[in-house]
Amino acid sequence: MTQNKNDWSPSTQAVQALHLIDDATGAVVPGIELASTFARGSDYEPVGDFNYARYDNPTTQATEKVLASLDGGADALAFNAGLAATVSVFETVRSGQHIAAPRVMYHGGQDWLRRISETRGIGLTFFDQTEDGALEDSIRPGETAILWIETPVNPTWDVIDIKKAAKAAHDAGAILAVDSTVAPPCTTRALELGADIVFHSATKYLGGHSDLTAGALICAEENELWDEIKQVRKLTGGILSPFDAWLLLRGMRTLFIRYERASENAMELAQTLSNHPKVERVLYPGLESHPGHEIARKQMRSGFGGMMSILVDGDAEAAKRVATATRLFIPATSLGGVESLIEHRKSVEGPHSIVPPNLLRLSVGIEDVKDLIADLDQALERV
Ligand SMILES: Cc1ncc(COP(=O)(O)O)c(C=O)c1O
C-alpha cells in the first residue's frame, strides 16, 4: 500500500525534508534560489508564485513547509534571527493591552518587552515560573493579549505546563505563544498541547550546527493575527535569506537523531555531575530530583535535551575559572549545536540578570560522552 506523505511520521518527514524532489531535475535536495526579484509575464502578472524576495522566495518557503510539518501547524514563517520572530509577535500588541511572561526567560526577549512596555504603554507582568498559580494570577482578562512562555526556561530549566498555560490564556481571551527552542518538535509539539503560536530560535537545535542565525514561528491556525505577523515580517525585512533557509533545511534533516544523542549524553553527564564534590547542584529536567521532572516527562516525549546548568561549589570567579579551563567544551554562548558549549551565564545576561553567580550553562553536544565527562572533571579541579 502506498503511504501518503502526510501519513509519514514526523521524523521521516524531517529526514526527507518532506520528499521535496525537484520535478524538473530529479534532485533529491531542493536547490537554493538566490534571486531577489521575480519577472512578470506579458500580462504583467508574476510568472510564478513569487514577486520579491523580501516578501517570500522559493527556498525559504520550502524550509517553512518542513517547519510547519514538524510542529503539526497550519503555516510557518522563517526569520533571519530568533529575536526577529519574537519581536514580530510582540509588534501586534496595541498600547493599553498587556503581555505576561516568565521572570526567567531568554534575556533578549525580556529586554524587548521592557522596551515596548516603557515606550508604548503596553502593560507587562513577569511572573515567577516556579510559584504555583503565579502564571494564572499574571493574566488580566480582556487586557492580556499574549501569554508568552518558554519551556524549559533558560537557564534554570524550570518547566512550565503548556496545557495549563493554554487554558489560563484562553479563559482570559489571550493567546498562548511558546518559546520551544530548547524543546524542539522532535520532543514537544506545543501546538498539540494548546499553544496558538510556537516559536523557535532555529539558530539552536533546528539548525544544529552553529552556522546560521534564524527564527521560526508556526501557527495552529491562519487567522488575522497571523496575517498581521506576516505583514510585520514583510515590512521589516525579517525574512530568512535563501542561503540560510537552505542551511536550516539541511540541519532539520538530522534533528531527531541529533536531539536523541544530545539527550542521552546530557542525562549521563547530569547523573555523573550530581555526585561530583565540586558541584553544588545540577539543574536538568531529566533528573527525577528536578522540580519540573513530572511535567517534563509528560510534555518532552522523546528526551530532555542537551541543556543543563550546574551550580559550582564556589563563587562567580570560581565558576569563570571552570569555564575557561575546559579543553573540549567551548566557552561560548548559544546552544543546541552538535558541539558542546559552556557559559558563565551571569556574565552575558546584563544588569537585569537574576541568575545565580555560580551558575554555568552547558549545551551538551553529540560528542563521545566519556570525553565530555573527563573534560569537565579536569576543569572542575579549578573551583
Ligand atoms: C530560548 C531562546 N529564545 C530566543 C533566543 C533568541 O534567538 P536568536 O539568537 O536566534 O535571535 C535564544 C538565543 O539564545 C534562546 O536561547
Q: What CA–CA distances, in Å, run from 361 to 290, 315, 370?
A: 16, 15, 19
Checking DSSP bridges between strand 330-331 and strand 359-363, what pairing results, if any? unpaired
Report which ligand 1 atom has the smallest distance to the Cα of 202.
10
Annotated catalytic residue 44: no
Do 49 and 67 fall into the same domain? yes
Q: Is residue 211 part of a domain?
A: yes
Ligand 1 touching residue 64 (CB < 6 A): no
Last residue of a domain, one of 188, 223, 252: 252
The domain tally of the chain equals: 2
> Would residue 179 show up in a list of annotated catalytic residues for this protein?
yes
Are both 350 and 244 inside the same structural domain?
Answer: no
Catalytic residue among 179, 196, 244, 375: 179
Which 8-state DSSP code applies to residue 17?
Answer: G
In a domain, 2, yes or no: no
DSSP state for residue 373 in the 8-state scheme: H
352 with 369, same domain: the answer is yes
Exposed (0-12), middle (13-18) or buried (19+): which is 42, by Cβ within 10 Å?
exposed
- Domain membership of residue 189 (yes or no) is yes
* Per-residue confidence (pLDDT) for residue 99, from 0 to 100: 98
- Residues sharing a CB contact under 8 Å with residue 330, sequence separation 6 or more, in sequence order: 339, 340, 341, 342
Q: Are residues 238 and 110 in the same domain?
A: yes
Residues 260 and 242 in one domain: no
CATH number of the domain where residue 335 is located:
3.90.1150.10
Considering the domain boundaries, does residue 370 fall inside one? yes
Q: Considering the domain boundaries, does residue 301 fall inside one?
A: yes
Say what the pTM is: 0.96
Provide CB contacts within 8 A for 236, sequence distance 6+: 84, 88
Q: Name the helix (H) or strand (E) containing 127.
A: strand 123-127
Does residue 60 belong to any structural domain of this protein? yes
- In 48-88, DSSP assigns E strands to 75-79
Domain encompassing residue 82 = 8-252
* Pocket of ligand 1 contains residue 201 by CB under 6 Å: yes
To 10 degrees, what angle do helices 369-380 and 316-323 make? 140
User: Are residue 187 and residue 285 in the same domain, yes or no?
Assistant: no
SS3 breakdown of the chain: % helix, strand, coil, rounded to 5? 40, 15, 45
CA of 69 to the centre of ligand 1 (A): 22
Q: Are 77 and 64 in contact, with CB atoms under 8 Å apart?
A: yes
| Distance of CA 331 from the midpoint of ligand 1 (Å) | 17
Q: Is the same domain home to 88 and 193?
A: yes
Query: Per residue, what are the HEC states of 195-235?
Result: CCEEEEECCCCCCCCCCCCCEEEEECCCCHHHHHHHHHHHH
Residues 233 and 275 in one domain: no
Q: Whose CA is nearest to atom 15 of ligand 1?
A: 106
Residue 190's domain is classified under what CATH number?
3.40.640.10
Q: Is 82 in the pocket of ligand 1 (CB under 6 A)?
A: yes
Round to whole Å and give the CA distance between 7 and 100.
37
Residues 243 and 326 in one domain: no
3 within a domain of the structure (yes/no): no
In angstroms, rounded to a whole number, what is the distance separating the alpha carbons of residues 66 and 72? 10
Closest CA to 87 of 179, 163, 152, 159: 179
Helix axis angle for 369-380 and 255-274, nearest 10°, is 40
Handedness of CA 20, 242, 307, 90 (dihedral sign): negative
Asked if residue 157 and residue 59 are part of one domain, the reply reads yes
Residues 74-87 have pLDDT tens digits of 999 999 999 999 99
Substitution site in 87, 150, 159, 203 for ligand 1 pocket (most atoms within 8 Å of beta carbon): 203
Instruction: Tell me how far apart the alpha carbons of residues 203 and 212 are, in angstroms, rounded to a whole number.
Output: 6
Domain boundary among 252, 267, 301: 252
Q: Please tell me the predicted confidence (pLDDT) of residue 3.
A: 66
In the block, which residue shows the cell 551571569? 346
Same domain flag for 232 and 269 = no
Q: Which residues of the chain have pLDDT under 70?
A: 1-3
With cell 539552536, the residue in question is 204
363 secondary structure, DSSP code: E
Residue 361 lies in a domain: yes
User: How much is the pLDDT for 16?
Assistant: 86
Active-site choice (103, 189, 204, 261): 204
Counting from 1 in the atom list of ligand 1, the atom nearest the Cα of 108 is 6
Dihedral sign for Cα atoms in the order 212, 105, 194, 96: negative
The residue whose CA is least distant from atom 9 of ligand 1 is 82
Residue 74 and residue 124 in one domain: yes
Which of 252, 283, 298 represents a domain boundary (last residue)? 252
pLDDT of residue 2: 53
